[in-house]
Structure 1
Amino acid sequence: MSQQESEQSDRKKYEFRKVIEDLKEYEGSGTQLVTIYIPDDKQISSVVAHVTQEHSEASNIKSKQTRTNVQDALSSIKSRLRYFDTFPPENGIVIFSGAVDSGGGQTDMITKVLESPPMEIESFRYHCDSEFLTEPLEDMLADKGLYGLIVLDRREANVGWLRGKRVEPVKSASSLVPGKQRKGGQSAQRFARLRLEAIDNFYQEVAGMANDLFVEKRHELDGILVGGPSPTKDEFLDGDYLHHELGDSVLGKFDVSYTDESGLYDLVDAAEEALADAEVMKDKNLMQDFFKELHAGDEATYGFDQTRQNLIMGSVETLLISEDLREDVVTYECPNGHEERTVIDRRKDTPNHTCSECGEEVPAEDGEREDAIDHLIDIAEQRGTETKFISTDFEKGEQLYDAFGGVAGLLRYSTGV
């Protein structure tokens, strides 16, 4: 995938994610919200026939209000389907329609059509409920890449997942392996034998945890990473304790000091080379470059205003945006021609504004509001700037959101801004 295609894909995913978040907020007073998933090999004419049949059957709904709302939603869907040719576009389409609660006992009829989702819709699905069906779309937007993680020494072990950019601890175990010192009156040989048996039993327990977790997903796994001190991890892998199909999926063994849950995160860091193509490492490398320039160089920018200014100048090489950023930018122009911007939470109402240049009041209704991310990406595209969305599922990704306002950039050259 080219850089341009990757950026378009990231932006499309963001736009879909934004629509899904809005859809999840809607509720119907009854089972009157209709969702239809249509694969790209499904003829539009057959979908229209299905919708027509559902419209007819909806006449049997006892509640007059629910009956009317469902039929209105189906009529709206049928109307939207006329805009498509024989088949849907690539990857299919999803249509959401229904009367949603707007407060005070009132409802609003909405219809949203999502064309060409990030992944192919596999089968036709009609769903009518008090909420829109968004889970299949959310699954499409989930981070890709699935790795099994194992960290162990002779005292404890932890097993979990690396899903895209997210480390998920799942299972842990503690061993009963005695220390190296002889106990009581046991002979040294007997003590050594019992200790080896305890180690073997613990390795079998760890392998059992891993097998239970990974075998079912073995065809989806991109690999397994094993970490711990030497010789523990070597003994574990050399002893063929893992299911034979999992053993073939081990990408490597890595030195890790801790074997509690934090060891899983250390393992991901230690396996950087093996995970070079994994999303989490791409994000981490970008944030490492950002912090390096922030502390030792001068080719980094952060915050909405500074980053926007650098974008307009064309000095931003890579725009970094937190995946958790949910803000709008409001542009105000006062009567004296001064233009200023305020960034606000997307869920809040537009505030009035006092011009910092002349003190004139600008009423909220005169503010031009738009999505802050769309605003920045539009400028980036005009300037040939690469845009990357950064996960908050690791420490420096969290810092981008919490400490730097969710917006930063790596510069082509120092600007002093």
Structure 2
Amino acid sequence: MTSAMRKRGRFCQAASSPRLLEAVLRRGAEEVRRSGEMGISGGSLQTHGLPSFLPHGSCLFVWDGKYNSMKDKGESVKADPISPIRSKRKPSLLRSLCRRSAAQSFVTSEDNIVISFLHSRNFLDMADGHETDKNIEIWKIKKLIKALESARGNGTSMISLIMPPRDQVARVTKMLADEYGTASNIKSRVNRQSVLAAITSAQQRLKLYSKVPPNGLVLYTGTIVTDDGKEKKVTIDFEPFKPINVSLYLCDNKFHTEALNELLESDDKFGFIVMDGNGTLFGTLSGNTREVLHKFTVDLPKKHGRGGQSALRFARLRMEKRHNYVRKTAELATQFFINPATSQPNVAGLILAGSADFKTELSQSDMFDQRLQVKILNVVDVSYGGENGFNQAIELSAEILSNVKFIQEKKLIGKYFEEISQDTGKYVFGVDDTLKALEMGAVETLIVWENLDINRYVLKHSASGEIIIKHLNKDQEADQSNFRDPATNAELEVQEKISLLEWFANEYKRFGCTLEFVTNKSQEGSQFCRGFGGIGGILRYQLDMRSLDELSDDGEAFEDSD
């Protein structure tokens, strides 16, 4: 064994502890990247160095022999990724080791236990992370709007304050000071005190900001009346996930959330290619704004019956010019709709329009960029070319454009149902099974209904002090037996209560998965919510949840064995 490998082996000595595994993997992966050495002592695995397609490197941890000797013989090696195979050996050990690392796959052989860490969110940069974060921010805004709209207060003691990005904190602070003087003249003592308290609260919160954040600032503060008739002071301030170009200050008996609703409206940019026999137009549509990027005209020869012996030559020339026209359009489409910095499309979808077969020929052509072909949402027939055809294409595609998120949701759930129909074993549903798969790092895409009404309880046994985690819906919360130990009837004290959706939004990155919120508005979404409980996941590799349940009784029985 080389000195570099012995050094990496020391990093793995702590790897039998799930809590230390994350730090171990970070340092081990760094050592693998630095070292050019390859190899493994013992076992029958062949190693050939890291594949070039892994941008940040990867790392395999190999333990020879049984659990009690792993911490002595652990070695980190440079290795090719290993095909995912469902383990039949020590599954609870593998679960505990994978819990904090979100491993993609693990393989067992007769003498080796191998855990491969690939595509983990903790260590590799995922391309769709930004999109997932944006979807979570949208979900949080929806949840906040729902709570704010239902809140009511006495009098005009609820302040809604929105500051656009280029506003000045000093200006708003001065305005609040003037409002404080005006509110001092309110005749009703109770209302006057509530309004003054709300203005003071807003002033104190603004002192935390030296300047307005890049996307603006939203502040709601005041005294609301709870369901049981008690008054409660509330202050909410946050920076929106995208710029909010609204300036607002209102005192009312409710919070005004109209500007937040506008934030949720899609501002995705869609590309249009309007192509006919006279020329092509490239344009974009974002929200209510359309823009013509470029247009050019062509003079293509028409079909005719003349030519005599030259008829075939004329036909070839005509087809050649058509071919060159399609090629030029395809090249310009790549120029306008592919971002050169990221090499990815800069539009959410493409609409191809035209009055002849050119649009179909373009969509099926090998010259049309494959990255753009997957973005085609619709191919429409229009009566005109140019800008008139552009306007008509927008009208004909209105339904498609409004349902882009709808279509993405249908595709996602359709893929989930396809895994089930083919019985691949790469799916999971239900709260308990989904959480088990998450703990193992097996979930690639976590799918959750955006209105899932389940809370996560952290309970403490009053006698033994044991911590118990339960996931309960409204009906189960009303049953007090869920808050007592079934064996001793001892009370279980509530240490923490949080919405399961909110817990997923905060913790999903730790499990190395992407989080997708779906609605029940589509047929597939409704079926997912009613038939599968509104929670499930697409797995990275095949798992037999029933066999894992049978083995879970063994728990960590072997962890203390010598």
The TM-score range, normalised by the shorter chain, is 0.5 to 0.7
Which amino acid is 2:407 matched to? M
Answer whether contact 2:382 2:389 (CA < 8 A) is retained.
Answer: no
Deviation at 1:28, TM superposition (A): 1.0
Q: What is the alpha-carbon distance in structure 2 between the residues aligned to residue 131 and residue 141 of structure 1?
A: 20
Answer whether contact 1:318 1:387 (CA < 8 A) is retained.
Answer: yes
Q: What is the alpha-carbon distance in structure 2 between the residues aligned to residue 239 and residue 291 of structure 1?
A: 41
Q: Secondary structure at the match of 1:366?
A: strand
Q: How has the CA–CA distance of structure 1 residues 351 and 58 changed in structure 2, closer, same or farther, with 3 Å as cutoff?
A: farther
The answer to whether 1:386 aligns with 2:499 is: no
Deviation at 1:84, TM superposition (A): 0.5
The answer to whether 1:71 aligns with 2:196 is: yes
Answer whether contact 1:24 1:134 (CA < 8 A) is retained.
Answer: yes
Answer whether contact 1:223 1:249 (CA < 8 A) is retained.
Answer: no
Deviation at 1:109, TM superposition (A): 1.7
Deviation at 1:372, TM superposition (A): 0.1
The answer to whether 1:120 aligns with 2:246 is: no
The answer to whether 1:21 aligns with 2:146 is: yes
Q: How has the CA–CA distance of structure 1 residues 411 and 111 changed in structure 2, closer, same or farther, with 3 Å as cutoff?
A: same
Identify the residue that residue 491 of structure 2 maps to in structure 1.
362
Identify the residue that residue 296 of structure 2 maps to in structure 1.
none
Q: What is the alpha-carbon distance in structure 1 between the residues aligned to residue 526 and residue 187 of structure 2?
A: 50
Q: What is the alpha-carbon distance in structure 2 between the residues aligned to residue 28 and residue 93 of structure 1?
A: 23
Q: What is the alpha-carbon distance in structure 1 between the residues aligned to residue 229 and residue 487 of structure 2?
A: 44
Which amino acid is 1:407 matched to? I
Identify the residue that residue 434 of structure 2 maps to in structure 1.
307
Identify the residue that residue 373 of structure 2 maps to in structure 1.
none
Q: Secondary structure at the match of 1:41?
A: coil
* RMSD, aligned CA: 3.6
Answer whether contact 1:340 1:355 (CA < 8 A) is retained.
Answer: no
Residues 229-250 of structure 1 show CA distances to partners (whole Å, capped at 9, x for unaligned) of: xxxxx9994499x976632536
In structure 2, the gaps of 5 or more residues are 1-125, 271-285, 288-348, 354-378, 546-562
In structure 1, the gaps of 5 or more residues are 148-162, 165-221, 227-233, 253-263, 269-274
Which amino acid is 2:455 matched to? D
Identify the residue that residue 56 of structure 1 maps to in structure 2.
181
Q: Secondary structure at the match of 1:246?
A: helix
Q: Which residue among 247, 250, 272 is the counterpart of 2:392?
A: 247
Deviation at 1:355, TM superposition (A): 5.9
Identify the residue that residue 99 of structure 1 maps to in structure 2.
223
Identify the residue that residue 344 of structure 1 maps to in structure 2.
473
Identify the residue that residue 262 of structure 2 maps to in structure 1.
139
Q: What is the alpha-carbon distance in structure 1 between the residues aligned to residue 226 and residue 394 of structure 2?
A: 52
Residues 66-111 of structure 1 show CA distances to partners (whole Å, capped at 9, x for unaligned) of: 11111110000000000001x2112111111111113665422211
Q: Secondary structure at the match of 1:369?
A: strand
Q: What is the alpha-carbon distance in structure 2 between the residues aligned to residue 74 and residue 350 of structure 1?
A: 42
Answer whether contact 1:97 1:112 (CA < 8 A) is retained.
Answer: yes
1:218-257 correspondence runs (5 A)? 237-238=382-383, 246-249=391-394
Q: What is the alpha-carbon distance in structure 2 between the residues aligned to residue 277 and residue 130 of structure 1?
A: 35
Tell me the TM-score normalised to structure 1 length. Answer: 0.66
Residues 359-393 of structure 1 show CA distances to partners (whole Å, capped at 9, x for unaligned) of: 53434x43531120132344431121111111222
Q: How has the CA–CA distance of structure 1 residues 348 and 47 changed in structure 2, closer, same or farther, with 3 Å as cutoff?
A: farther
Tell me the percent identity.
23
Residues 138-172 of structure 1 show CA distances to partners (whole Å, capped at 9, x for unaligned) of: 2212455699xxxxxxxxxxxxxxx99xxxxxxxx
Deviation at 1:346, TM superposition (A): 11
Q: How has the CA–CA distance of structure 1 residues 383 and 236 changed in structure 2, closer, same or farther, with 3 Å as cutoff?
A: closer
Q: Secondary structure at the match of 2:458?
A: strand
Q: How has the CA–CA distance of structure 1 residues 346 and 367 changed in structure 2, closer, same or farther, with 3 Å as cutoff?
A: farther
Q: How has the CA–CA distance of structure 1 residues 357 and 411 changed in structure 2, closer, same or farther, with 3 Å as cutoff?
A: farther
Q: How has the CA–CA distance of structure 1 residues 373 and 132 changed in structure 2, closer, same or farther, with 3 Å as cutoff?
A: same
Q: How has the CA–CA distance of structure 1 residues 56 and 119 changed in structure 2, closer, same or farther, with 3 Å as cutoff?
A: same
Identify the residue that residue 158 of structure 1 maps to in structure 2.
none
| Bigger Cα displacement from structure 2, 39-48 vs 336-345 | 336-345
Q: How has the CA–CA distance of structure 1 residues 376 and 136 changed in structure 2, closer, same or farther, with 3 Å as cutoff?
A: same
Identify the residue that residue 90 of structure 1 maps to in structure 2.
214
Residues 202-245 of structure 1 show CA distances to partners (whole Å, capped at 9, x for unaligned) of: xxxxxxxxxxxxxxxxxxxx99899xxxxxxx9994499x9766
Answer whether contact 2:382 2:393 (CA < 8 A) is retained.
Answer: no
Tell me the TM-score normalised to structure 2 length. Answer: 0.50
The answer to whether 1:283 aligns with 2:409 is: yes
Deviation at 1:302, TM superposition (A): 1.0
Answer whether contact 1:51 1:78 (CA < 8 A) is retained.
Answer: yes
Q: What is the alpha-carbon distance in structure 2 between the residues aligned to residue 9 and residue 76 of structure 1?
A: 30
Q: What is the alpha-carbon distance in structure 2 between the residues aligned to residue 5 and residue 356 of structure 1?
A: 43
1:154-169 correspondence runs (5 A)? none
